[in-house]
């Protein structure tokens, strides 16, 4: 795993009194005298300067770390996009806390199965590792150590972390392994075991194995492990995969009974008219709250949600259910950046022809840094690091109940050669003349190109296919308010 440098405390937050000492420091933390709630939080890391998971900034100065089954010592072993479990306490404000332990274990490590890499569309690809299906999103998956959406290839050795949606892993992070690496990991339920070989049934139902078990293998399983969910470490020995360690694994990272939990994941049908989130059964009741307010009526398999509640006998009883899904993407240069602390603030973006959009950020926003400005190598940034007027950001966002744009993820890129882009539901249009998205109007001209459903289109057929709330993507490189490309998304 690529090692990250230890993140120091954020000076601006300390100066304003907004935060106490952060991860890597000695501080205890939190709000003095405030009630603390013991919690387990399972979700992806969205930022550093402390560790941000599920909208809470956890101080980690006194935390223990277990990373890929090994002990680590600080935040430098972590990276954005990793799905982790944090145990600790949350302060009365609900957005700060203190971690007592941080646990990370990837979902699978190994080479992309030959012939399995498939291009779904311009921003999605799928492949398998040991038969486990994995979906990659160019905008939402974090890539590291030489991995990249455009460079995925059969046989490439990867480490994948993500959310299981009932059929596949939706990758939140992909890290490339060294081509000479010959040790891999796969998880599943033991389908057959005789002491000499082991066969797994993976989460998607595929079979992996049988794998021969090394005579020196470390076996941290019962004598009869059939039906247990386990992790198998494999070694390539002359082209033959041999199990060198088998251990039981906590599939969902939560205990059967806990009073306060927070879990982010993708909904899957449970086969009985209900849902699982990251494999955890959950239920709502008349006291459950939903954000946005209509979420309770539109919960569906494939939706990414954050659920907070308590575990009873392996079932999550939901107190709060929230989704931040949206179909809004903005790639643009900054005009203005304002913030109250490290992650909470607003960014105003230049959309051309004196038009702009303002996007709010909070503790749940994923801050990913792909730019040369990432001098400390942590692959993340804080709002005070952004320079107004000279940054280029790729933002995914949603509209909250108040109609504000809120960023789910922000990726900082080097500004050279970048093109302004806006993708959002259509407000209105004038056939052959203009489209308006999020209040931003783009005119068309003779050189504008059109695409509908991933197929080239003419102007008249493109506009005839539009209706209010169609999702349209506009490219305006200048930007000057004139569309160079218009795409009607499928």
Q: Tell me what pLDDT residue 257 has.
A: 85
Domain check: are 24 and 96 in the same one?
yes
Question: How much is the pTM?
Answer: 0.88
Domain check: are 16 and 99 in the same one?
yes
Mean pLDDT of 272-293: 90
Domain check: are 95 and 165 in the same one?
no
Domain check: are 269 and 244 in the same one?
no
User: What are 44's strand-pairing partners?
Assistant: 83
Q: How far apart are CA 434 and CA 443, in angstroms?
A: 4
Angle (CA) 69-149-180 rounded to 5° is 50
Domain with 160 in it: what CATH number? 2.40.50.140
CA atoms lying within 13 Å on the CB side of residue 332? 28
Q: Is residue 33 in some structural domain?
A: yes
Domain check: are 148 and 214 in the same one?
no
Q: Tell me what pLDDT residue 375 has.
A: 76
Query: pLDDT confidence of 15, banded at 50, 70, 90?
Result: very low
Q: Is residue 253 in some structural domain?
A: no
Q: Tell me what pLDDT residue 244 has.
A: 98
Domain check: are 100 and 17 in the same one?
yes
Report whether pLDDT(21) > 60.
no
User: What are 67's strand-pairing partners?
Assistant: 70, 104
Domain check: are 333 and 391 in the same one?
yes
What are the Cα distances from residue 40, in Å, to 25, 43, 119? 22, 10, 37
Burial class (CB in 10 A: 0-12, 13-18, 19+), 108: buried
Report whether pLDDT(25) > 80.
no
Q: What is the number of domains present in the chain?
A: 6
Query: pLDDT confidence of 42, banded at 50, 70, 90?
Result: very high
Range of lowest pLDDT (123-132, 252-261, 357-366, 478-487)? 252-261
Q: How far apart are CA 59 and CA 329, in angstroms?
A: 31
Q: Tell me what pLDDT residue 454 has.
A: 81
Domain check: are 268 and 230 in the same one?
no
Domain with 483 in it: what CATH number? 2.40.50
How high does pLDDT run on average in the chain?
90
* Residue 75 backbone zone (phi > 0: left; psi -120 to 50: alpha; other: beta): alpha
Q: Tell me what pLDDT residue 34 has.
A: 54
Each residue's pLDDT tens digit, 154-204: 999 999 999 999 999 999 999 999 999 999 999 999 999 999 999 999 999
Domain check: are 92 and 113 in the same one?
no
Domain check: are 119 and 166 in the same one?
yes
Q: How far apart are CA 318 and CA 29, in angstroms?
A: 28
Each residue's pLDDT tens digit, 71-113: 888 999 999 999 999 999 999 999 999 999 999 999 999 999 9
Mean pLDDT of 268-273: 89
Q: How far apart are CA 66 and CA 62, in angstroms?
A: 13
Each residue's pLDDT tens digit, 430-464: 999 999 999 999 999 999 999 998 889 999 999 99
Q: Is residue 219 in some structural domain?
A: yes
Mean pLDDT of 256-266: 91
Domain with 228 in it: what CATH number? 2.40.50.320
Q: Which of residues 360, 394, 413 is at a domain's end?
A: 413
- Strand 51-53 and strand 405-413: the pairing is unpaired
Q: Tell me what pLDDT residue 411 has.
A: 97
Report whether pLDDT(372) > 80.
yes
What are the Cα distances from residue 137, in Å, to 36, 305, 366? 37, 17, 15
Report whether pLDDT(19) > 70.
no
Q: Is residue 4 in some structural domain?
A: no
Domain check: are 303 and 318 in the same one?
yes
Q: What Rg, from alpha-carbon coordinates, does the chain have?
A: 23
Q: What share of the chain is helix, strand, coil (3-state, %, to 5)?
A: 5, 50, 45
Q: Is residue 131 in some structural domain?
A: yes
Query: pLDDT confidence of 293, banded at 50, 70, 90?
Result: confident
Q: How far apart are CA 414 and CA 295, in angstroms?
A: 37
Report whether pLDDT(49) > 90.
no
Three-state DSSP state, 365:
coil
Burial class (CB in 10 A: 0-12, 13-18, 19+), 66: middle
Q: Is residue 402 in some structural domain?
A: yes
Mean pLDDT of 60-75: 92
Q: Which of residues 322, 340, 361 is at a domain's end?
A: 322
- Strand 207-220 and strand 240-248: the pairing is parallel
Burial class (CB in 10 A: 0-12, 13-18, 19+), 194: exposed
Q: Which of residues 144, 176, 208 is at a domain's end?
A: 176
Domain check: are 100 and 113 in the same one?
no
Q: Is residue 46 in some structural domain?
A: yes
Q: Tell me what pLDDT residue 486 has.
A: 97
- What share of the chain has pLDDT > 90, as a percent? 78
Range of lowest pLDDT (25-34, 72-81, 257-266, 345-354)? 25-34
Q: Is residue 6 in some structural domain?
A: no
Report whether pLDDT(125) > 80.
yes
Q: Are 91 and 53 in contact (CB under 8 A)?
A: no
What is the domain extent for residue 138?
Answer: 108-176
């Amino acid at each position: 795993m690529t090692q990250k440098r230890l993140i120091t405390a954020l000076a601006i937050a300390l100066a304003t009194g907004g935060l106490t000492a952060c991860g890597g420091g000695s501080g205890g933390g939190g709000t003095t005298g405030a009630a603390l709630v013991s919690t387990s939080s399972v979700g992806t890391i969205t930022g550093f300067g402390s560790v941000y998971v599920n909208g809470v900034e956890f101080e980690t100065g006194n935390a223990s770390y277990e990373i890929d089954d090994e002990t680590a010592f600080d935040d430098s072993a972590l990276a954005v996009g990793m799905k982790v479990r944090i145990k600790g306490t949350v302060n009365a404000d609900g957005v700060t806390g203190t971690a007592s332990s941080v646990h990370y274990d990837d979902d699978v490590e190994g080479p992309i199965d030959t012939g399995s890499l498939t291009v779904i569309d311009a921003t999605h690809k799928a492949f398998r590792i040991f038969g486990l299906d994995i979906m990659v999103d160019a905008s939402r998956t974090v890539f590291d150590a030489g991995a990249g959406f455009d460079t995925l290839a059969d046989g490439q050795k990867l480490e994948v972390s993500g959310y299981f949606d009932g059929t596949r892993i939706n990758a939140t992070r992909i890290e490339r392994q060294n081509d000479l690496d010959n040790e891999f990991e796969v998880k599943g339920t033991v389908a057959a075991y005789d002491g000499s070989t082991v066969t797994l049934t993976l989460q998607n139902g595929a079979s992996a194995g049988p794998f021969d078990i090394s005579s020196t293998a470390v076996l941290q399983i019962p004598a009869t492990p059939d039906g247990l969910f386990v992790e198998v470490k494999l070694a390539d020995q002359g082209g033959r995969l041999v199990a060198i360690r088998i251990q039981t694994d906590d599939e969902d990272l939560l205990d059967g009974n806990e009073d306060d939990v927070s879990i982010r994941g993708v909904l899957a049908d449970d086969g009985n008219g209900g849902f699982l989130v990251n494999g955890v059964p959950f239920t709502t009741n008349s006291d459950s709250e939903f954000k946005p307010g209509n979420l309770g009526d539109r919960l569906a398999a494939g939706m990414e949600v954050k659920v907070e509640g308590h575990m009873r006998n392996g079932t999550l009883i939901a107190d709060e259910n929230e989704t931040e899904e949206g179909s809004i993407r903005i790639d643009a240069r900054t005009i203005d950046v304002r913030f109250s602390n490290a992650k909470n603030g607003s960014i105003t973006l230049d959309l051309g022809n004196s038009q702009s959009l303002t996007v709010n950020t909070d503790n749940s926003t994923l801050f990913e840094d792909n730019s040369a400005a990432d001098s400390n190598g942590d692959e993340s940034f804080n709002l005070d690091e952004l320079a107004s007027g000279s940054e280029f950001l790729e933002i995914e966002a949603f509209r909250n109940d108040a109609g504000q744009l809120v960023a789910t993820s922000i990726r900082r890129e080097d500004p050279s050669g970048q093109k302004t882009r806006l993708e959002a539901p259509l407000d209105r249009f004038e056939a052959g003349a203009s489209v308006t998205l999020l209040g931003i109007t783009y005119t068309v001209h003779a050189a504008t190109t059109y695409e509908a459903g991933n197929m080239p289109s003419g102007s008249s057929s493109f506009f005839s296919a539009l209706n209010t709330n169609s999702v349209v993507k506009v490219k305006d490189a200048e930007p000057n308010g004139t569309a160079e490309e218009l795409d009607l998304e499928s």
